Amino acid sequence: MEERVRAAVRLLPLPPEAFRSLRVEGTDVIIKARHGQDASLTHAMDQVFPEDCSQGDVYDWVAPAVEDVAKKGVNATVMAYGQTGTGKTFTMLGAPAAPEAGQLPGDAGVIPRAAASLFEALATGSADGTIVRATAHCSYLQIYGDRVQDLLVPDPSKAPALQVREAPSNLGSKGAVFVRGLSEYQVASAADVLALVARGTKGRATRATRSNEHSSRSHAVLQLALEVESVEKGNDENNDPARWSQFAASDVPPSTAQTPGTAGTRTVVRRAKLSLVDLAGSEKWSDEVAASQQFARELRAINTSLSALGNCIAALADLATEAHRGGGHVPYRDSVLTRLLQDALGGGTRAVVIATASAAQDAYDETASTLAFAQRATRVTARLRVDEVIDDSRRLVKAKREIARLRKR
């Protein structure tokens, strides 16, 4: 099943009297024409969050992608992208306090809400008997100056840089990308995840800038890996061979699909990963930057990696067109960031982009660039896959489909 990337824009709150360089019409963001421009620029989004939106509004839009990680075994990535000081880290983290009595703070961001949602889905499945066993592991890293650092070690800045590698595959296709030596902790609740987030966030590289007192100078990636063993019930309708062959054309079978000719239930083990990405913000070169060599190196590394990310999105958007479908090069290896996000961008992963932007006149260029990136991302498509243990009958169906495909060549 193919699905395109979804993108939303969240506007930074401004004083009522501030001049705004854009307006919103439905899900279109229209940037007003400046002197020397012939017309306004219109960017179509899947969702626009106004300046007065709540953290809950943003998460409710993201929630289906997160919940399907636990319920259907579909990998998902949620990425915050935008200019520095526009609220990316607030959107992703908010107030990452451990939930008390099942409640999260009102300004809790995507990460604490996603952790709570995942474990709530697992608890519900365990209670109704559909989930037999579930395990979850958490890792947290940052990319600082093109170096991958583990945020869950005592002092990330002094730890050796980690290497991004590709796992071998026995199926003749590319293996999954992973970070060698990255620590991974088993977690049993949302509180466990948030404790690790709080611990790791303390080691993240930050610096005061003109637009943000605690500006993130690194890209941060939190990953939650789930393995869920569940029992799925069937019925006579599910045993219809014609219905089975119809589902065999998709790599994402419905949760009620089962081997033809069998009745009752089947046990299936699915593995899926949720990646929550808080990117460092883009920023213009200034005298303040030029005065500090370290600041300059940080900004150069951030802008270079974001530029590489934009190039990969552009290449993937081209590949989605009929003219380029089935061929073309995507420059994942141009940066550590794009290499690490390779599976999230071009693999069988559901991807969601939250673009944070300011309507302020002095942020015009950065906002235009952010909106162009988000709109381009919506043209990227992925063929969703589920990593599951399947029985011999379903393997036979897939093998017959592959043989039929090869015979058509």
Give the whole-number percent of the chain exceeding pLDDT 70. 82
* CB-based burial, 176-188: b 16+ in 10 Å, e otherwise: ebbbeebbeeebe
Q: By three-state DSSP, how is residue 88 classified? A: helix
Q: Give the helix ranges, DSSP H, for 254-321.
A: 287-290, 293-319
> For the segment 332-341, what is each residue's pLDDT rounded down to a tens digit?
999 999 999 9
> For the segment 271-312, what is each residue's pLDDT rounded down to a tens digit?
999 999 999 988 776 656 555 778 788 888 999 999 999 999
Taken as a whole, the chain contains a residue count of: 409
367 pLDDT exceeds 90? yes
Identify the pLDDT of residue 171. 46
Cβ atoms of 343 and 330 within 8 Å: the answer is no
> For the segment 143-196, what is each residue's pLDDT rounded down to a tens digit?
998 899 999 999 998 889 999 998 876 544 567 899 999 999 999 999 999 999
Write the single-letter amino acid at 153.
V
- What's the pTM value of the predicted model, to 2 decimals? 0.85
Q: Which whole number is the average pLDDT over 239-266?
A: 43
Q: And the tokens for 258?
A: 């089962």
Q: Which whole number is the average pLDDT over 240-260?
A: 39
Q: Which whole number is the average pLDDT over 29-39?
A: 77
> For the segment 76-129, what is each residue's pLDDT rounded down to a tens digit?
999 999 999 999 999 999 975 555 545 788 899 999 999 999 999 999 999 998
Give the whole-number percent of the chain exceeding pLDDT 90. 56
Who has greater pLDDT, 272 or 347? Answer: 272
Q: Residue 326, Cβ neighbours under 10 Å: how many?
A: 6
> Could you give the count of Cα atoms lying within 13 Å of 139 in the half-sphere of its Cβ?
19
Partnered with residue 140 across adjacent β-strands are 222
Identify the pLDDT of residue 81. 97
258 pLDDT exceeds 50? no
Identify the pLDDT of residue 242. 40
